[in-house]
């Protein structure tokens, strides 16, 4: 029996949208900062650095900690140390946001295909959802290194839609990056208020939600707005 969302792909950003990963990302960044003799960063200052991939996050974190500009070679080494630490501690503090898994299951029961569209490296994204025991919920997973570009480029969004075979799609995110990627790909964006942001472009999203209990009916409404 076809559900009301048959043929619809619901694409989720990962960090700050589906999974609260800030604690583990901060721990790995602080591992690198300590190695460099720099003071560790508080969790709240790390949250706003998440969403553009490890290299961008670490470069900004080093600058905020007062490090002089690093050469590309030095930054490569710092990123390698960050990734190695993060891979080994990928789900120590991370967990799905409340209600996220139930919302995904409800969307799947309605016939939707579910994908992850993240700027995290695909390898690390797969390791994270695997460690949390939820990898089987997703029909596709596209990382920041999968489609030849990262969000806000539309290519990862389009690749997700292609791999799920969706005739329609909705992107669920938490930041301006997601809003811009969705707009560039021509799909509506639903935005979590509780994510990492920034959300300077929130007026350009189709709608915002505060809890995952709101999401399934919001997706159905979003799809109904598109021909």
- CA atoms of 59 and 78, how far apart (whole Å): 9
Q: Which tokens go with 52?
A: 């553009």
**β partners of residue 171:** 11, 189
The torsion region of residue 148 among left (phi > 0), alpha (psi -120 to 50) and beta comes to left
- CA atoms of 13 and 150, how far apart (whole Å): 12
- CA atoms of 188 and 161, how far apart (whole Å): 13
The vertex-28 CA angle with 24 and 31, nearest 5°, equals: 140
- CA atoms of 85 and 35, how far apart (whole Å): 12
* Catalytic pick among 13, 15, 139, 153: 13
Residue 24 falls in the annotated catalytic set:
no
What is the DSSP annotation of 191-213? EETTSS---TTGGGSSEEESSGG
Q: Which residue has tokens 């990928």?
A: 90
- CA atoms of 157 and 151, how far apart (whole Å): 8
Contact present, 182 and 173 (Cβ < 8 Å): yes
Residues 6+ apart with CB under 8 A from 136: none
Active-site positions read 13
């Amino acid at each position: 029996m076809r559900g009301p969302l048959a043929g619809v792909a619901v694409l989720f950003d990962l960090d700050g949208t589906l999974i609260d990963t800030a604690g583990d990302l901060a721990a790995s960044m602080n591992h690198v900062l300590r190695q460099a003799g720099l003071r560790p960063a508080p969790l709240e200052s790390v949250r706003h650095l998440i969403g553009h991939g490890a290299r961008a996050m670490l470069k900004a974190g080093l600058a905020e900690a007062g490090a002089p500009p690093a050469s590309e070679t030095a930054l490569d080494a710092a990123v390698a140390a960050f990734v190695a630490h993060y891979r080994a501690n990928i789900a120590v503090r991370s967990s799905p946001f409340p209600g996220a898994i139930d919302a995904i299951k409800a969307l799947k029961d309605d016939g939707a295909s579910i994908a992850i569209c993240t700027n995290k490296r695909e390898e690390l994204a797969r390791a994270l959802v695997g460690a949390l025991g939820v990898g089987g919920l997703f029909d596709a997973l596209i990382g920041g290194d999968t489609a030849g570009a990262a969000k806000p480029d539309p290519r990862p969004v389009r690749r997700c839609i292609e791999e799920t075979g969706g005739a329609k799609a909705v992107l669920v995110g938490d930041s301006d990056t997601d809003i811009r990627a969705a707009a560039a790909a021509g799909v509506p964006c639903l935005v979590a208020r509780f994510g990492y942001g920034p959300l300077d472009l929130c007026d350009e999203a189709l709608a915002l939600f505060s809890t995952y209990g709101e999401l399934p009916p919001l997706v159905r409404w979003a799809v109904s707005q598109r021909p």
